[in-house]
């Protein structure tokens, strides 16, 4: 029975374990939080704990910690880009992790983190392993921890070896936390807390941060004493750098034997450098504010003008154009036109039917009489039209009568047979009739 139960459990568990060891091909993640807690030790080292929350699907993370910037220069008077601010390296590194959706500074000392093992090599799909690539400028840590659609909090712990610089009047910490790196992933909710070995006063304890204009820096107080400072940045992009700088009482570093010493007093020179940098930062902030105010006002004006612009565009481009006819529209002819005229307006030609209708209209008006006789030769009915009167006829009918009885028929009489024979030359007569009826050609009676 136990063997059967073990076989059933293995059937389900083994595929899950195998799947967990399969590397992620479609890597997709974001860094939700980056919290750093640093403590300056009496010997000039800085003990760092860093919590990074990664959310998504990934095979692990890459962490580069620099300690030597080759672009810095050796100088006894440079308080900004001096190689003296390089330190000796990274030591006592370790990493652990646990699943977590969100973290706070209280999680630095919480339980549940599982530590990783340093190995010579590892593969994608591994968990709880990391490798180190040592260079003259930084340590590069490849941390293997395959994760599928989950949030993991990585806890990094290490020391910055001999990073504090001593002056004749003060001690100084100048720490470049993030360098300009186009391959770095954007981060949200970045917090950095730095604690002094002991409390200090503002006479010597001064703090600065650079490069991220939207960040802010404040002192950390406890029981009315200044014990450290905090830097906050809601977002850091790949184009941002982040550093912190602080001066404090040199007596807080009693074990300064291995530290670099800057000749002469440092605070006054550092204040001069930082004032210039603050002025430049303020000018850039003012410029950004002007740009923001311009676009803010422009957007408000655009919102106001949008309806007006829409109406203008509608009337210019979208609205159906009006025709050039502005008179009253009639569904019927507004003049007393004859049938042949109306027929021409509709058909664009003069038809025999229209001519017949015009003749019948003259019969109806009793201006023409119709006489039916029998043709003795052809034994067919013959219709003779006789002109009775021209009185009260309009111009069109007068032209028609003139054409029928004076041009193609006998005076006052018109044989229907003649009209039928005229059908052969209808096309020629049509043009002539059009000119006569339209009044272009005037006929004298």
Same domain, 149 and 74: yes
The domain tally of the chain equals 3
Q: Is residue 334 part of a domain?
A: no
**383-440 residue pLDDT tens:** 677 778 777 777 777 777 777 777 665 545 555 555 555 554 454 455 556 555 555 4
Same domain, 223 and 113: yes
**Mean pLDDT over each residue of the chain, to the nearest integer:** 81
- Which residue has better confidence, 276 or 313? 276
Q: Is residue 444 part of a domain?
A: no
**73-92 residue pLDDT tens:** 988 889 989 999 999 999 99
Helix axes 339-347, 426-437, angle to 10 degrees: 110
Same domain, 244 and 302: no
Whole-structure pTM value: 0.63
Same domain, 257 and 375: no
Q: Is residue 17 pLDDT above 50, yes or no?
A: no
Taking the CA of residue 89 as centre, how many other CA atoms within 13 Å lie in the half-sphere pointing to its CB? 8
Same domain, 361 and 402: yes
Secondary structure class of 228 (helix, strand, coil)? strand
**266-307 residue pLDDT tens:** 999 999 999 998 888 777 767 766 776 777 777 777 787 778
Same domain, 433 and 369: yes
Structural domain boundaries enclosing 197: 24-263
Cα–Cα distances (Å) from 10 to 7, 13, 22, 125, 168, in that order, read 5, 5, 18, 21, 69
Q: Which tokens in the block code for residue 99?
A: 């699943």
The answer to whether 174 touches 271, Cβ cutoff 8 Å, is no
Same domain, 248 and 310: no
Q: Is residue 241 part of a domain?
A: yes
The arithmetic mean of pLDDT across residues 323-343, rounded, is: 63
Q: Is residue 142 part of a domain?
A: yes
The answer to whether 149 touches 57, Cβ cutoff 8 Å, is yes
- Which residue has better confidence, 17 or 220? 220
Helices (H), 2-105: 2-20
The answer to whether 173 touches 164, Cβ cutoff 8 Å, is yes
Q: Is residue 119 part of a domain?
A: yes
Same domain, 257 and 279: no
Same domain, 29 and 106: yes
- The domain spanning residue 54 has which CATH number? 2.60.40.1730
Same domain, 109 and 83: yes
Secondary structure class of 253 (helix, strand, coil)? coil
- Where a domain ends, among 245, 263, 281? 263
The answer to whether 190 touches 242, Cβ cutoff 8 Å, is yes
Q: Is residue 1 pLDDT above 50, yes or no?
A: no
Strands (E), 111-256: 114-115, 117-118, 127-134, 138-161, 165-166, 170-178, 187-200, 206-210, 216-222, 225-236, 242-249
């Amino acid at each position: 029975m136990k063997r059967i139960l073990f076989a059933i459990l293995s059937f389900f568990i083994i595929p899950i374990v195998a799947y967990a060891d399969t590397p992620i091909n479609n890597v997709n993640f974001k860094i939700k939080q980056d919290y750093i807690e640093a403590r300056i030790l009496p010997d000039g080292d800085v003990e760092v704990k860093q919590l990074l929350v990664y959310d998504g699907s990934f095979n692990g993370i890459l962490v580069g910690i620099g300690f030597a910037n080759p672009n810095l220069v050796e100088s006894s008077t440079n308080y900004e880009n001096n190689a003296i601010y390089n330190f000796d390296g990274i030591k006592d590194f370790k990493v652990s992790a646990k699943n977590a959706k969100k973290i706070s500074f209280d999680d630095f000392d919480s339980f549940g983190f599982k530590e990783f093992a340093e190995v010579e090599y590892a593969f994608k799909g591994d968990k709880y392993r990391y490798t180190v690539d040592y260079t003259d400028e930084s340590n590069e840590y490849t941390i293997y921890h395959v994760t599928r659609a989950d949030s993991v909090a990585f806890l990094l712990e290490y020391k910055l070896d001999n990073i504090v610089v001593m002056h004749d009047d003060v001690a100084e910490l100048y720490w470049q936390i993030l360098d300009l790196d186009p391959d770095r992933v954007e981060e949200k909710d970045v917090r950095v807390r730095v604690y002094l070995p002991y409390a200090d006063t503002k006479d010597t304890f001064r703090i600065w941060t650079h490069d991220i204009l939207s960040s802010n820096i404040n002192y950390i107080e406890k029981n009315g004493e200044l014990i450290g400072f905090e830097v906050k940045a809601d977002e850091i992009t790949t184009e941002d750098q982040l550093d912190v700088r602080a001066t404090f009482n040199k007596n807080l570093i009693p074990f300064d034997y291995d530290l670099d010493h800057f000749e002469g007093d440092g605070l006054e020179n550092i204040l001069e450098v930082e004032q210039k940098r603050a002025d430049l930062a303020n000018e850039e902030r003012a410029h950004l504010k002007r740009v923001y105010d311009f676009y803010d006002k422009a957007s408000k004006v655009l919102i106001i003008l949008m309806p007006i612009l829409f109406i203008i565009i509608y009337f210019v481009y979208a609205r159906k154009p009006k025709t050039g006819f502005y008179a009253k529209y009639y569904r019927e002819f507004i003049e007393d036109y004859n049938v042949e005229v109306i027929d021409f307006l509709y058909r664009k030609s003069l038809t025999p039917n229209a001519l017949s209708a015009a003749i019948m209209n003259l019969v109806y008006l009793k201006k023409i009489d119709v006489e039916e006789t029998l043709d003795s030769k052809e034994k067919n009915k013959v219709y003779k039209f006789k002109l009775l009167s021209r009185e009260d006829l309009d111009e069109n009918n007068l032209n028609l009568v003139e054409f029928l009885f004076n041009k193609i028929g006998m005076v006052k009489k018109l044989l229907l047979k003649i009209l039928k024979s005229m059908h052969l030359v209808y096309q020629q007569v049509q043009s002539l009739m059009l000119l006569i009826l339209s009044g272009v050609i005037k006929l004298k009676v």
